[in-house]
Amino acid sequence: MKALADVPIPPDLSRRYGRTSGGRAWLGSLQGLICGRLERWDLEVDLAPGELPWNGHGAVVVPVTRKGAPAVLKVAYPHDEARVERFALRLWDGNGAVRLLESDAGTCSMLLERLDACRSLEDVPLDAAAAVWGGLTRQLGLRPDHRPEWQEFDHVAARAEQWSDDLPADWEQLGRPFPRWLLEAALEVCQTRGAVGRRAGTDVLVNTDFHFLNILARPQGGFAAIDPQPMIGEAEFSVAPLLWNRIRDLSRSDPRRGLLERCRDFSEAAGLDAEAARQWSLAREVENALSYASRPHHGGDLARSLWVASTLAGRTLDGLPAAHDLPAPGEAGPG
């Protein structure tokens, strides 16, 4: 087994988690967590000298081998989404999502099949991406059954009920950062779709962070989802991240129409209700906008969320940058 010194921590992960005492404590323990999993699962680090592991927003992902077979070791910062990820992956069992090989709740660690980190749906033309995304959404949309993993997930309708209380209070506390009509449009969605979701009997397992970069190619062909952030509820809740990503790929002549057409096209590819997807996406982007408004260095992200939300509401706000000048997620704020 390679020495721990051969498993460097990516600098942007260190910057992100070095800002709080809890984050610094996790960073300080990370080498030991990695070492423990390497030993427990009989893994060899598969990094070239000087090569960094991969990382997302909240985890380090180390290429490894086990008895010569490629895999990745993912060690996540302990938070709610990371704690429930393994339950969803266990239910999917490699069908439409990355296959879970081992997991350890105490260290928030998982051993996963190795996908091609250099090939995501981000680089696939949108027409083809819609077909891939739609097919995966159908695979991932499992209906609840008797298995105990289902007890671990929050419900989309409950999230909507929470937003009905939280969004108005946050909007006031943050100095009313956008017009009231947009807030009310989101609240209407929370009330109507939340109620529909409670009584419709159409609950499925929902990947709520199902955007282009979270869909990687399998070496043997096809694509699979990663980092699912699972919930239970209406599958249409999953469309929103497609709309706040790849905005620069929208038509320059009419980006507002292009956004609505993308919502429709991806929904139809997955067999979803495009109107329900539009409504959920509006509410999700208003919630995002309030989150960005609370962080002064995220003005570009706030502008993007307001553009998407108000466009979905049919009244694109004045005074925002042009659609193609809006930053992609992760570009505007600190890493």
**Looking at the annotation, which residues are catalytic?**
209
Tell me if 298 sits within 8 A of 292, measured CB to CB: yes
Beta strands 215-217 and 116-120 are antiparallel
**CA separation for the pair 291, 305 (Å, rounded):** 10
User: Which of 86, 88, 84, 37 lies closest to 64, judged by CA?
Assistant: 37
According to the 3-state scheme, what is the secondary structure of 58-118? CEEEEEEEECCEEEEEEEECCCHHHHHHHHHHHHHCCCCECCEEEEEHHHCEEEEECCEEE
Q: In this structure, which amino acid lies at residue 193?
A: R
The string over 33-64, giving b where at least 16 C-beta atoms fall within 10 Å of a residue's C-beta and e elsewhere, is bbebbbeebebebbbeeeebbebeebbbbbbb
**CA separation for the pair 146, 93 (Å, rounded):** 16
Tell me if 53 sits within 8 A of 61, measured CB to CB: yes
Residues 6+ apart with CB under 8 A from 201: none
How many Å separate Cα 137 from the centre of its chain? Answer: 14
**CA separation for the pair 330, 282 (Å, rounded):** 20
Tell me if 102 sits within 8 A of 61, measured CB to CB: no
Strand spans (E) along 144-238: 204-207, 215-217, 223-225, 230-233
Structure tokens at 207: 């990947």
DSSP three-state, residue 233: strand
